[in-house]
Amino acid sequence: MPHPYVLLSAAVSLDGYLDDTGPERLLLSGPADFDRVDEVRASVDAILVGAGTIRADNPRLLVNSPERRAARLAGGQTEYPLKVAVSGSGDLDPAARFWHTGGEKVLYTTDEGAGRAHALGLAADVVPLGAGLDWRRLLEHLYAERGVRRLMVEGGGTIHTQLLTEGLADELQLVLAPLFVGDPRAPRLFGPGSYQGGRLRLVESRPVGDVVLMRYEPTAPGAGPLPSAADHHWLALACELAAECPPSETAFSVGAVVVAADGTELARGHSREGADPVVHAEEAALAKADPTDPRLATATVYSSLEPCAHRASRPAPCARLVLDAGVRRVVTAWREPDTFVAGADGTGVLTGEGATVVVLPEHEDRAKAPNGHLLGR
């Protein structure tokens, strides 16, 4: 089930705190950054916060610029993004500004919390998600039932920590403010947890007034059948590589990337690259990886098209090459059609030997684009 694109947004002090312990919200950003945040809010379908932030800050979470609100309306969107609150207990102040400003509101909670929220008369659509709160179910519900494609998460630290450690964040927009808090009782941005092992990708950094904005993308593949946000980023890269293939009337154009469990790229390739007119993408990529690299055993191969199961031009098909390399997880955008080989089933070859194959159909159109002439398009 598809999820919205999840953008985490936060400002921290130089010593890594989200707030101080005083009764008023600590203003970490300056005017220029508040305006940038307003612009980001105007660009999303929904803004999510945790119950702790509603209790501590009593925020409105509005798009403040009339011009940006007008542009949303002119573009066929609602004036304000949907406001989303998350609470296990359902124990929230019904008079909080969150419920009485802006557009529609929804509260995701537990079955027990829903009872409390109804009793309190919270002015929101209350959605119970069962005995506990499952983030994947919440994101699927936002996508399918509320039409949310871009979700901005504005804290607090408990929420950010969970979305990042569960591999569900597509992007982190972090602002570093030039001040210290220095109080160990103050809330930190990220708590303890199982974060990805390797490095995140820095996609942008720039000063905004006296703060610095840093945008990062998590890079770690998902585990087993559960896709992570980074799986989508890597598969999108494989689709970009597919578009670089020399054209052919007799073979598909495919891109492939091999990524270690900590998010380190080990190798990439595409069909017919270099001087080899018949090389396949997975074959080209795996040939560049060190076959003795122990990281291959927990790596993921991203291939814009399912690895092949039968092949005339080489002794071993790509599904076999993947297995022989020790890789046990493949993420792909579409299954091989009967264009050249009837009943090709690379997925069957892979799963038959214990590998996991994850198909992310959201990328199918991009993976097919360089192959349109072979598909009668």
Q: Which residues bind ligand NAP (CB under 6 A)?
A: 10-11, 18-19, 25, 28, 49-53, 56-57, 86-89, 91, 133, 154-159, 162, 187
Tell me whether residue 52 or residue 326 sits nearer to ligand NAP (CB atom): 52
- Compute the least distance from the CB of residue 119 to ligand NAP, in Å: 14
Among 323, 337, 325, 332, CA closest to 372: 337
- Compute the least distance from the CB of residue 159 to ligand NAP, in Å: 4
- Compute the least distance from the CB of residue 202 to ligand NAP, in Å: 19
Tell me whether residue 44 or residue 266 sits nearer to ligand NAP (CB atom): 44
- Compute the least distance from the CB of residue 164 to ligand NAP, in Å: 12
Tell me whether residue 65 or residue 162 sits nearer to ligand NAP (CB atom): 162
Asked if residues 41 and 72 have their Cβ atoms less than 8 Å apart, the reply is no
- Compute the least distance from the CB of residue 191 to ligand NAP, in Å: 8
Tell me whether residue 50 or residue 317 sits nearer to ligand NAP (CB atom): 50
**Residue by residue, what is the 3-state secondary structure of the chain?**
CCCCEEEEEEEECCCCECCCCCCCCCCCCCHHHHHHHHHHHHCCCEEEEEHHHHHHHCCCCCCCCHHHHHHHHHCCCCCCCEEEEECCCCCCCCCCHHHHCCCCEEEEECHHHHHHHHHHCCCCEEEECCCCCCHHHHHHHHHHHHCCCEEEECCCHHHHHHHHHCCCCCEEEEEECCCCCCCCCCCECCCCCCCCCCCCEEEEEEEECCEEEEEEECCCCCECCECCHHHHHHHHHHHHHHCCCCCCCCCCCCEEEEECCCCCEEEEEECCCCCCCCCCHHHHHHHHCCCCCHHHHHCEEEECCCCCCCCCCCCCCHHHHHHHCCCCEEEECCCCCCCCCCCCCHHHHHHHCCCEEEECHHHHHHHHHHHHHHCCC
- Compute the least distance from the CB of residue 131 to ligand NAP, in Å: 10
Tell me whether residue 157 or residue 317 sits nearer to ligand NAP (CB atom): 157
- Compute the least distance from the CB of residue 153 to ligand NAP, in Å: 9
Residue 336 makes CB contacts below 8 A (sequence gap 6+) with: 252, 305, 306, 308, 309, 344, 345, 346
Tell me whether residue 177 or residue 357 sits nearer to ligand NAP (CB atom): 177
Looking up tokens 């998902």, which residue turns up? 222
Tell me whether residue 53 or residue 271 sits nearer to ligand NAP (CB atom): 53
- Compute the least distance from the CB of residue 278 to ligand NAP, in Å: 50
- Compute the least distance from the CB of residue 61 to ligand NAP, in Å: 10
Tell me whether residue 119 or residue 375 sits nearer to ligand NAP (CB atom): 119
Tell me whether residue 163 or residue 367 sits nearer to ligand NAP (CB atom): 163
